[in-house]
Structure 1
Amino acid sequence: MALYSIGDVAERCGINPVTLRAWQRRYGLLKPQRTEGGHRQFDEDDILRIEEIKRWVGSGVPVGKVKALLEGENISVDDAWSTLKEEMMTVLRHVKPAKIRNRIAAIGRENPADALIDNVFLPIRQRLGLDQNTARAMCSLLDGALIDYVAFCLTGSRKKAGKDALLMGWGTEDRTRLWLEAWRLSQQGWRMDVMAEPLEMPRPELFPGQKIFIFTGKALTHRQQEMMNHWQEQGFTVSHIGH
């Protein structure tokens, strides 16, 4: 039976080698063979298991719960995300920037951006934003760490094959959300750049030939929809992402 290196498997399955190592070491999801020199080697059964893990994780299951599903156990996915949120909140309460960055990086390597944004980071930011003083300081600390991590991810994604795109905010004050949405788009194959300051009125004509995503944080107003239609009629490649 053919055996493959971790680099070969990562390329074939579209997964970072760091993630494969985490699935093995931290979660016990993989048991590759080893060469005499200690290098991992994977066979076709391992690759099939990796694809199954990817399907579970891609459907929104936290990676920490995948092993139980593979072994036929019944688990609540909602409860699993709740556990991850509480773990993140515990780290935030310690108010240690390095620990916050490390935790974000760890779960960012192990879970899809879409799932983390929708099930962990946005709910936590909303929860902290409802309170005063200390909670808002914690939210600001979290936002700084998120932007730091997403900027790192975007730099990595720009080194890969893909299409370039620019993200603009329009009529929103949530700068951190811009970075989160750019991260989400980067996972869809876009090499993203972000305009860090939201605009009162985007000007696509300043970026001829550029694919542009516009984030509003909500449904387009009637006036905004008219402007989107106008830009598209003029030939600009502009798409709206709202929620």
Structure 2
Amino acid sequence: MTLYSIGDVAERCGINPVTLRAWQRRYGLLKPQRTEGGHRLFDEDDIQRIEEIKRWMSTGVPVGKVKALLEGENIEIHDGWVTLQEEMMTVLRHVRPSKLRAKIAAIGRENPAEALIDHVFLPIRQRLNLDQNTARAMCSLLDGALIDYVAFCLTGSRKKAGKDALLIGWGSEDRTRLWLEAWRLSQQGWRIDVLAEPLDQPRPELFPGQKIFVYTGKVLTRRQQEQLAHWQEQGFTVTAHGSDPATEEKKNHSLV
């Protein structure tokens, strides 16, 4: 029977090791084996269970109710993502940066990064951006806290084995979204650096030999598609991140 370290499982399942530990310690969702030195070891059954947990959570089930569902209990299910959104909004209304940072860190430990981005942070930012006055100030506060947290996560991911890459915003002015997408990529095994200032025209020749992701925030225009193909023909390793029409439609639907 093949056994895997927590790092191997985290990379394979796209889950931060901190989250896996929280699922085990706080919620009893996992029961990994241990080496003589106390290190966690997971088998294929554990990995299947992790994927099942992710599936339940992707439907909005709060992490605290997943164990009962896995054990076959009939429980009342509500949208856990909406609950998290409202909890975040409550913290924001108190305008306490320290409490906001603590809340983001807490939910970041217990939930997959991709799910938090799509079901909590992006919907909240969309709600706040609809208001031109107080809510915009709250959104700015949230953006600062999110960038701060994501930068912390990216620093941690760079200390692990992985593939180096650079993320560049291409014609997108949403800097916070750029950092959130960097966090998403870091969960896929990439050690990401972010070019913090979006560019109208990226120049991959300035970064020879580097893997580059470009993020536009929307479906690539025909001109951008042609430019991307030209870079690739020149031998640059440039990939458009998050610009697939089906992917963007799915994400936009989750914000409604």
TM class, shorter-chain normalised? 0.7 to 0.9
TM-score (norm 1): 0.83
Name the CA shift for 1:135/1:51 in 2 (closer, same or farther; >3 Å): same
8 Å CA contact 2:153–2:183 kept in 1: the answer is yes
Instruction: Give unpaired runs (5+ residues) of structure 2.
Output: 249-256
Output one character per residue of 1:44-98: Cα deviation in whole Å (capped at 9) or x when no partner. 89x9457514432266254233123223235547x12111111111111111111
8 Å CA contact 1:65–1:80 kept in 2: the answer is no
Count of aligned pairs between the two proteins: 231
- For residues 86 and 116 of structure 2, the distance between their equivalents in structure 1, rounded to whole angstroms, comes to 13
| Residue of structure 2 in register with 1:22 after alignment | 22
**Amino acid in structure 1 at the alignment position of 2:63:** V
> How does 1:1-243 map onto structure 2 within 5 Å?
10-11=6-7, 13-14=9-10, 18-29=18-29, 48=45, 51-57=48-54, 60=58, 61-72=61-72, 73=74, 76=77, 79-241=79-241, 242=243, 243=248
Between the two structures, name the one with larger relative contact order (CA 8 Å, sep ≥ 6): 2
Q: How far has the Cα of 1:236 moved from its partner?
A: 0.5
- For residues 190 and 20 of structure 2, the distance between their equivalents in structure 1, rounded to whole angstroms, comes to 23
Instruction: Give unpaired runs (5+ residues) of structure 1.
Output: none
**Amino acid in structure 1 at the alignment position of 2:6:** A
Name the CA shift for 1:197/1:62 in 2 (closer, same or farther; >3 Å): farther
Name the CA shift for 1:114/1:12 in 2 (closer, same or farther; >3 Å): closer
TM-score (norm 2): 0.79
**Amino acid in structure 2 at the alignment position of 1:82:** V
Whose radius of gyration is greater, 1 or 2?
1
Q: How far has the Cα of 1:43 moved from its partner?
A: 8.7
- For residues 148 and 41 of structure 2, the distance between their equivalents in structure 1, rounded to whole angstroms, comes to 37
Q: What is the identity percentage for the equivalent residue pairs of Structure 1 and Structure 2?
A: 74
